[in-house]
Amino acid sequence: MKDATVKPRARDLGLPLPGTPGPLNAITDVPGIEVGFCTLTDPARGIRTGVTAILPRGSGPDPRPVRAGHYALNGNGEMTGTHWIDDAGTYLGPILITNTHGVGACHTAATQWMIETYADYFRTRHAWAMPVVAETYDGVLNDITRLSITPDHAMTALRSARRGPVAEGSTGGGNGMIAYEFKGGTGTSSRRVTVGGDWTVAALVQANHGIRPWLTVCGKPVGAAMPEGRLIERETGSIIVILATDAPLSPLSLRALAKRAALGIGRGGTPGGNNSGDIFLAFSTADAAAMPQVRGPVETVTQLNAEHLDPLYLAGVEAVDEAVLNAIVAGEDVPTVKPSGLVCRAIDIEKLATIFGGAIPG
C-alpha cells in the first residue's frame, strides 16, 4: 500500500521531464556519496532551520580528495573554501549547507569532523581543514536572529549521513526556504549518461530563489497560472547547487559543469536576481588517489575529453531543473515569521499535474 504521507515527486505528476534518472533520482545515485540532515522546527520560538551534509566519499578514515570546480552566477551569498578549489582543482571533506547566520557554526563542526575522521592524517602531518559551507537566507520563515544553528547541529547532520533515498522539501538546511514564493528547500535529481562509459550526473539544491511571475515548468508559465498567495515583490533569496558525478572530469571540466547549473535554474524562470546568491559547486568521485602531499612528483591522470562532454552538461542542466521542482513539490504550508501573519503556501500539486494533463498518483 502506498504511504499517504509521502508526497509525489515532480516526475510522478506527469511532468514531461527529459532524460533518464538513476534508480533513486538523487545525488546518492553517484556511488559513495552520503547525505545527512539536522532539521530544527520550533514554531513557538519562530525556529525553522537546519543543516544539510554531503559526504563526497562517505565517512571512511582515509582522506581522499575529489576533483572540483565552482562557479558563482551571482555572489550575494557564501560558499567557503572555493578560493582553494579554484587554485587546486580538488577538495577534501564534507559539504554543509545551512542558513546565512549558521556558516560559522557549521565551519567549526566540519573542521572538527575532519580532525576526528582523518585522525591519523592530522596527527602525523601539518594537515589543515578548509571545509565547504554554503548558505541561503531563511529569515522569512525562521527567526534567523536567534542564531539557532550550533556546531552540535552540524555534527548531527554529518553523523547522520547515509546512502540511499534523500528526503526533500523542509529537511536540513532547506527547512526555512522559499522558492518562487512557494515553500521550497532541499531537492535532488540524477541523470544517467554515456560518454566513453556509463556515468551518473546528479544535483542537490537548496532552493530559496525566484518570484512567482518568473516560475516556468517544462516551458509553461506555471507561476502566472498560480498567482495566489504571493509574499514578495522583489527577489531576496538564493540557491546553492551541488553537482556530483562519477565521470572522470578535469577540474576545468568540473568548473564548466558547475557553470551549467546556471542554465538549470534558468529553465525554472529565474534570471538570477541582484539580491540572489546563486553559487554552484561540481565534484567528481572518479579519482580516488591519496592526498597530494603523500604522492610522488609524477602523476598519470585519466579524464574525459572536453570535446565530448556536451551530454554530461545537458544531464547537469536537466538534473538541476528537476531538483528545484522536487524541492517545490515537496513543500507544505508554513507561516511566516517576518512579516508575521502570512503563510508561505505549498504549490498546488493537483493543479500542477492538471496543467500537464496528469494526475496525482493514487
Catalytic residue among 148, 190, 238, 253: 238
For the chain, give me the number of helices (H) and strands (E)?
8, 14
Q: Length of the chain in residues, anyone? A: 362
Residue of 182, 179, 143, 178 lying closest to 339 (CA atoms): 143
C-beta separation of 75 from 272 below 8 A: no
CA dist 220 and 61 (Å) reads 48
Per the CB < 8 A criterion, the answer to whether 274 and 73 are in contact is no
For residue 41, give the 3-state DSSP assignment: strand
Query: What is the greatest pairwise CA distance in the chain?
Result: 63
Which positions ≥6 away from 106 have C-beta within 8 Å? 51, 96, 98, 131, 133, 149, 151, 154
Residue 164 · residue 277 · CB < 8 Å? no
Q: Annotated catalytic residue: which of 29, 138, 143, 278?
A: 278
Q: Three-state DSSP class for 97? A: strand
Per DSSP, 275 falls in state: T
120 is catalytic: no
86 tagged catalytic: no
* 253 flagged as catalytic: no
Residue 99, all three cell numbers: 542558513
Say whether 315 sits in a helix, a strand or coil.
Answer: helix
Strands of 2-121, DSSP E = 34-42, 47-55, 66-75, 90-91, 95-99
Residues tagged active-site: 238, 276, 278
